Amino acid sequence: MNLFEQFALGLQSLWFTLRECGRPRLWAPFLVPFVVQCAGIGLLALTAHPLLSWLLAPIVVRLAGPDALHYPGLFVHLPGLALTADLLVVSTLGALASGAATRLFASVFEGRSPSLREAWSETARRAWPLLVAQLPVTLLLVGIGFALDAFGQARVSSITRAMLPAVQMVLGTLVQALFAYVPALVMLGRLGPLLAWRRVPAMWGRGLLPALVIFVVALLVLLPMQLLARQSGAVVARGLPELTMALTALLFASSMVASWLVSGAATLVWMSALSGHVRETR
């Protein structure tokens, strides 16, 4: 496949995935982490309550400083705190949800009726490989965040510092695109984590450009809410602190939409152009 064909494949897989957006079952796996994320926002907003403060207050102070224990200071830090807590959700429930969604999308694209029960039971069987195989992506994303933070705190120009979020976004997108087919390799290719990682570079020849197209489109879905969530300080200053909870929930909702899109499109690319290649090289 030449580059144009790969590009077209990425766009077409997105289009075919979008056409399936009316099927509630395809959304079901992602609702689980979303509900947990929303519950997390609620719990963070109640950090000061005696039922939670013994556990959450020290963590919140550690992550965001003593101001985060004050009203409305907590709401300025809420999106950041929620995103930090989300790393745990994404690396566990998120990984499992993407596995189940891959199975469901595969059924749909094969022309069969998707069975939620089957998808979940298969995900449960392959839970450990799924979790372990997707762990490097989370670790790499966290590592990039820490490295760029450390770089930003060093003596760099203000222009460089202003560009760091954009750099983080580009690097994050690239890393996710590199590992885009891991859920498909585990769930559809039935590979263990080690074998899946070994196959990942082999995917890049035909699959990296479609994956990049998919992730750039997903980023476009996510970006407006990410930019809005960064304005939590302004929202609080305008006297609407609790609105940052809704903003954070919307950010997670857009993240759910992006994950759904990526899962469906990556599954379709894998089924169209990569599954045979895996079988050949097995």
Interface with other proteins (CB under 8 A): 48-55, 57, 69-72, 239, 241
Shortest CB 49 distance to other proteins, Å: 6
Tokens of 200: 């990942």
Indicate the residue among 33 and 241 with the shorter CB distance to other proteins: 241
Using CB atoms within 10 Å of the CB of residue 188, give its burial: 0 to 12 exposed, 13 to 18 middle, 19+ buried. Answer: buried
Please say whether the beta carbons of 133 and 193 come within 8 A.
yes
Tell me which DSSP letter residue 68 carries: G
Indicate the residue among 28 and 48 with the shorter CB distance to other proteins: 48
Shortest CB 39 distance to other proteins, Å: 16
Q: Which backbone phi and psi does 226 adopt, to 5 degrees?
A: -65, -45
Indicate the residue among 60 and 269 with the shorter CB distance to other proteins: 60
Shortest CB 62 distance to other proteins, Å: 15
Indicate the residue among 74 and 101 with the shorter CB distance to other proteins: 74
Shortest CB 261 distance to other proteins, Å: 38
CA distance 94 to 258: 12
Please say whether the beta carbons of 44 and 56 come within 8 A.
yes
Q: Which of 277, 221, 265, 202 is nearest to 18 (CA)?
A: 265
Shortest CB 68 distance to other proteins, Å: 11
Shortest CB 124 distance to other proteins, Å: 18
Q: Which of 184, 215, 214 is nearest to 199 (CA)?
A: 184
Runs of H (alpha helix) within the chain: 3-18, 24-45, 50-64, 73-89, 95-109, 116-125, 127-153, 158-178, 182-187, 193-229, 232-237, 243-269, 275-281
